[in-house]
Amino acid sequence: MALSIYLTITILLLHFAFYIKKPLNFLQNSLVFMVIAIITRQCLTLSALEWGLFKMTEDDWLFVCLLLCRDLFTPMISVIFVNFYVRGEYKLASFLISLAVLLGLHELAVQLGILTYIHWNFFYTILLNTGFLLAALGVLKLIYFIKIRENRQNENI
């Protein structure tokens, strides 16, 4: 049941990401996606395996759901958030909606038994997901900084 729910969410999320108007190009979106995917993977692995803050499921099918959530949902929602942020419309609303979706997906993982809290609570989840979205903005600012610097160098030639 959990796998079918997560596959449905995956299909809906990919359709939504495909059809929104994206002011960033493919390379910029890919860079944001990859950096956030790496950060997400490292944070969840450290939190679960090294620090023992929460426990991941040992069921194979539920672990596939965790991989979808960790490696696809969080980076893709971050990319969608960054594209809405660049548009300049409703920056705070897009941040809060993206945060609410990430928190909802995390709570769904807890309710379905994919994650089990040991030394963790929902407030830490809010901080972690806020960090992911702010990291996506940081990558965006870095991309813009590099782009502006390259334009200045080309003007001097």
Q: What is the domain range of residue 133?
A: 2-7+25-145
The predicted structure's pLDDT at residue 147:
82
Residue 153, in any domain of the structure: no
The span from the CA of 9 to the CA of 151, in Å, is: 40
Measured between alpha carbons, how far is residue 82 from residues 10, 49, 112 in Å?
A: 19, 30, 29
In a domain, 19, yes or no: no
Q: What total of structural domains would you count in the chain?
A: 1
| 77 domain-assigned | yes
| Domain presence at residue 20 | no
| pLDDT confidence of residue 144 | 87
- 109 lies in some domain: yes
- The alpha carbon of residue 143 and the mean position of all alpha carbons in its chain are separated, in whole angstroms, by 18
Residue 114 in any domain: the answer is: yes
How many Cβ atoms sit within 10 Å of the Cβ of residue 11?
10
**What's the chain's average pLDDT?**
90
Please indicate, yes or no, whether the overall pTM of this predicted structure exceeds 0.85: yes
Q: Which residue has the tokens 């038994």?
A: 113
Phi, psi of 55 (to 5 degrees): -115, 135
Asked if pLDDT for residue 80 goes beyond 70, the answer is yes
The pLDDT of residue 156 is above 80 = no
Task: Note the pLDDT tens digit of each residue in 43-54.
Answer: 888 888 788 888
